[in-house]
């Protein structure tokens, strides 16, 4: 298997699905780039280069550069999905959902239910998220909990190139609106990715590491930080299981609960702000359904209840770190 970057894995997924199904279109700001300009046509290939080369193969009728107009991008994609296309809309930064939330929350997410089961909305909204680039408070947030809260949406958050490709192909083939979130710090991450097309199902967590002393649940970039902490803990004789849910809606509760049955200790690592977060949700599920298995209080390691700061010093302090996870795990290990 070839080593492929997270970015290229996403590109492969889009390309293979666009070849497979002529109803798949890509819509967004600069998904090709260069429309109407005096330079080259495929100038950007998306702000992170994920859609590079698609316009050359599929043309501007299927790789649609739009104005900077998020409500119209997402609304148009939702309306197109409802009427027979399978659009992949790119929102660039997930922070921009703030300018088009109605089209996601009140429109796309609701059609099927409001219309008595008769609507099908095969829509994918891609966006990058996450801190670590000193991009400031409006380009660094981790907002998957907002989408996870909304019935009718599916929320997908890959942590590896393999999952990025398989989950994106699954998302494009899915008949419901899918919010597909890519952590900004993962685009250059390389991993084994099969050349052929494959899907990774939603609602199936990936157990990244097995250990009997505690269960760490983490998503996206935080899975890598958690694995780093788990290695350090192993040297101290504490063995952690690390679980990546991969999708927060649907959420694979069974795999988490099963692991708690073994370890009795839960640490949730989440780059989001803590209030009403995915970390809170996982903690609540375990508290409600595995109370008797717990040997220690549930711990959450999250970003603080603040916006993402600009200065690198502050931003580093904002992001959950491996030492913080280690310290929390050491505390949990004392309970028996």
Partner 1 sequence: MMLDRDALLLAYRTMRRIRDFEERVNTEFVAGRVPGFVHLYSGEEAIAVGVCMHLDAADYIGSTHRGHGHSLAKGCDPKGMMLEILGKAEGLCAGKGGSMHIADLQRGMLGANAIVGGSPPLVIGAALTAKTLKSDRVAVAFTGDGGSNQGTIFEAMNMAVVLQLPAIFVIENNGYGEGTAAEYAVGAKDAARRAAGFGMPAVKVDGRDFFPVYEAMADAVTRARAGGGPSFIEARCARIHGHYCGDPQTYRSKEELTQAREVHDPIVGFRRRVLASGELTASELDSIDRLSAEEMDAAVTAAHAGTAPPLEALYTDVYATY
Active site residues: 139
Please, what is the minimum distance in Å from the beta carbon of residue 115 to partner 1?
A: 4
The contacts of residue 314 (CB under 8 Å, 6+ apart) are none
Please, what is the minimum distance in Å from the beta carbon of residue 73 to partner 1?
A: 8
Pick from 20, 57, 98, 114: which binds partner 1 (CB under 8 A)? 114
Pick from 107, 160, 241, 248: which binds partner 1 (CB under 8 A)? 107
| Strand, helix or coil for residue 195 | coil
Dist CA 336 CA 333 (whole Å): 7
- In the bound state with partner 1, the residue whose beta carbon lies nearer, of 7 and 112, is 112
Pick from 1, 38, 39, 151: which binds partner 1 (CB under 8 A)? 151
The contacts of residue 166 (CB under 8 Å, 6+ apart) are 13, 198, 199, 200
Residues 220-239, one symbol each (x = binds partner 1 by CB under 8 A, - = not), give --------------------
Task: Using the rule CB under 8 A, give the single segment among 112-120, 266-274, 278-286, 301-309 that binds partner 1.
Answer: 112-120
Confirm or reject binding of residue 116 to partner 1 (CB under 8 A): yes
Comparing C-alpha atoms, which of 29, 14, 17 is closest to residue 73? Answer: 29
Confirm or reject binding of residue 103 to partner 1 (CB under 8 A): yes
Going from the C-alpha of 231 to that of each of 39, 62, 136, 236, 271, the distances in angstroms are: 49, 45, 31, 9, 20
Comparing C-alpha atoms, which of 169, 181, 89, 179 is closest to residue 128? Answer: 181
Residues 45-74, one symbol each (x = binds partner 1 by CB under 8 A, - = not), give ----------------xx-x-xx-x-xxxx
Dist CA 6 CA 183 (whole Å): 10
Please, what is the minimum distance in Å from the beta carbon of residue 51 to partner 1?
A: 17
Cis amide linkage into residue 250, ω under 30° from 0: yes
- In the bound state with partner 1, the residue whose beta carbon lies nearer, of 112 and 265, is 112
Confirm or reject binding of residue 75 to partner 1 (CB under 8 A): yes
Residues 184-203, one symbol each (x = binds partner 1 by CB under 8 A, - = not), give -------------------x
Confirm or reject binding of residue 143 to partner 1 (CB under 8 A): no
| Strand, helix or coil for residue 321 | coil
For 96-220, where are the alpha helices, taking DSSP H only?
101-102, 111-114, 144-148, 161-173
- The H or E element spanning position 243 is strand 240-244
Confirm or reject binding of residue 44 to partner 1 (CB under 8 A): no
Residues contributing to the site for partner 1 (CB under 8 A):
23, 25, 61-62, 64, 66-67, 69, 71-85, 87, 102-103, 106-107, 110-120, 151-152, 154, 174-176, 203, 250
């Amino acid at each position: 298997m070839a080593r492929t970057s997270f970015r290229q894995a996403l590109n492969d997924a889009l390309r293979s699905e666009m070849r497979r199904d002529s109803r798949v279109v890509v819509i967004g700001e600069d998904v090709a780039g260069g429309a109407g300009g005096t330079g080259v046509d495929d100038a950007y290939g998306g702000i992170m280069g994920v859609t590079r080369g698609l316009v050359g193969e599929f043309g501007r009728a299927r790789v649609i550069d739009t104005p900077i107009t998020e409500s119209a991008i997402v609304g148009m994609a939702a309306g197109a999905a409802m009427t027979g296309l399978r659009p992949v809309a790119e929102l660039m930064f997930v922070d921009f959902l703030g300018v088009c939330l109605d089209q996601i929350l009140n429109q796309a997410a609701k059609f099927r239910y409001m219309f008595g089961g008769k609507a099908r909305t095969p829509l994918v909204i891609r966006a990058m998220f996450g801190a670590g680039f000193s991009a400031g408070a409006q380009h660094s947030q981790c907002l998957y909990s907002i989408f996870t809260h909304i019935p009718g949406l599916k929320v997908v958050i890959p942590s590896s190139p393999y999952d990025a490709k398989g989950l994106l192909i699954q998302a494009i083939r899915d008949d419901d609106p899918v919010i597909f979130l890519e952590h900004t710090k993962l685009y250059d991450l390389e991993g084994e990715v099969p050349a052929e097309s494959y899907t990774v199902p939603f609602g199936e967590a990936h157990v990244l590491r097995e250990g009997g002393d505690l269960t760490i649940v983490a998503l996206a970039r935080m899975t890598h930080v958690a694995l780093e902490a788990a290695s350090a803990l192993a040297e101290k004789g504490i063995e952690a299981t690390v679980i990546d849910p991969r999708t927060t809606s649907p959420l694979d509760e069974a795999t988490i609960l099963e692991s708690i049955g073994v370890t009795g200790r839960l640490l949730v690592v989440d780059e989001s702000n803590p209030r009403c977060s995915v970390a809170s949700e996982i903690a609540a599920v375990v508290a409600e359904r595995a109370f008797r298995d717990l040997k220690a209080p549930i711990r959450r390691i999250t970003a603080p209840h603040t916006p993402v700061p600009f200065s690198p010093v502050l931003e580093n302090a904002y992001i959950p770190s491996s030492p913080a996870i280690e310290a929390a795990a050491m505390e949990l290990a004392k309970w028996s």
